[in-house]
Amino acid sequence: MTEAVDLSLLSFEEDIEKAIEFFNGELAIIKVGRANPRILDKVVVDYYGTMTPINQMANISIPEARMMLISVWDQSQVKAVSKAIEAANLGVNPSDDGRVIRLVFPALTEERRREVVKDVNRLTENAKVSCRNARRDVLDEFKKMKKNNELTEDELASLEKDVQKMLDSAIEKIDKMSASKEKEVMEI
């Protein structure tokens, strides 16, 4: 086969990997009643005119399963970090004593667990759609190549099968990740 086919397949693989990585990152952010420093990844603080992620201006530790301790290096920024966490609407209220910020995560109710599972299912479907879109794009490229007589009918059919196998593998991986997160959420 041609170099163009190899490049298209490589691009397809990269797109699928990116979708799975993004999905994994989104799953990591979902809280399940336990302290997880990843929920702070998207929280930024105005630090002397620069929007700075909390993990770049503080130590984040988990002294207990449902408590997070944030030790801000620059003590003058404790209030700003606390306000940024409140503004991020994470579902936890920060309490600070002027030196450290504590986040206590409440145990999830059954109703809240079901909502979180719905969020996981929505993210799962988005990841699958992203992978399917990548498949559509690569198959469109192959059909153009066939139209331009760069591929034969048999080569096109073979490539379609290969792409479908890759997609099926990715979807299976996404489903396993989703099932694992669902199980984690529903554990009491």
The domain of 58 spans 37-104
Residues 25 and 60 in one domain: no
Amino acid found at 54: I
Number of domains in the chain: 2
114 — pLDDT class (breaks 50, 70, 90): confident
What is the pLDDT, as a whole number, of residue 85?
83
CATH of the domain at 135: 1.10.132.20
pLDDT for residue 106: 75
Confidence of residue 126 (pLDDT cuts 50, 70, 90): very high
Per-residue pLDDT band for 1 (boundaries 50, 70, 90) equals low
Same domain? For 97 and 114 the reply is: no
Q: Are 84 and 54 in contact (CB under 8 A)?
A: yes
pLDDT reading at 51 higher than 80: yes
Q: What is the CA radius of gyration of the chain?
A: 22
Q: Final residue of a domain: which of 59, 85, 104? A: 104
Reference 127, options 182, 177, 163, 161; nearest CA is: 177
Say if residue 118 is in the same domain as residue 178. yes
Place of tokens 């909390």: 54
pLDDT value of position 31: 66
- Tell me, what's the pLDDT at 178? 92
Are 42 and 68 part of one and the same domain? Answer: yes
Give the end of a domain, one of 64, 79, 104: 104
Residue 93 shares a structural domain with residue 24? no
| pLDDT tens per residue, range 65-89 | 778 888 888 888 888 888 888 888 7
Say yes or no to pLDDT of 132 above 90: yes
DSSP summary character for residue 106: P
Question: Which range, 25-34, 126-135, 146-155, has the best average confidence (pLDDT)?
Answer: 126-135
Say yes or no: 77 and 121 in one domain: no
Residue 100: both structure tokens together: 């450290």
Task: Pick the more confident residue, 37 or 130.
Answer: 130
Q: Which of 57, 82, 104 is the last residue of a domain?
A: 104
Look at residue 32 and tell me whether its pLDDT is greater than 70: no
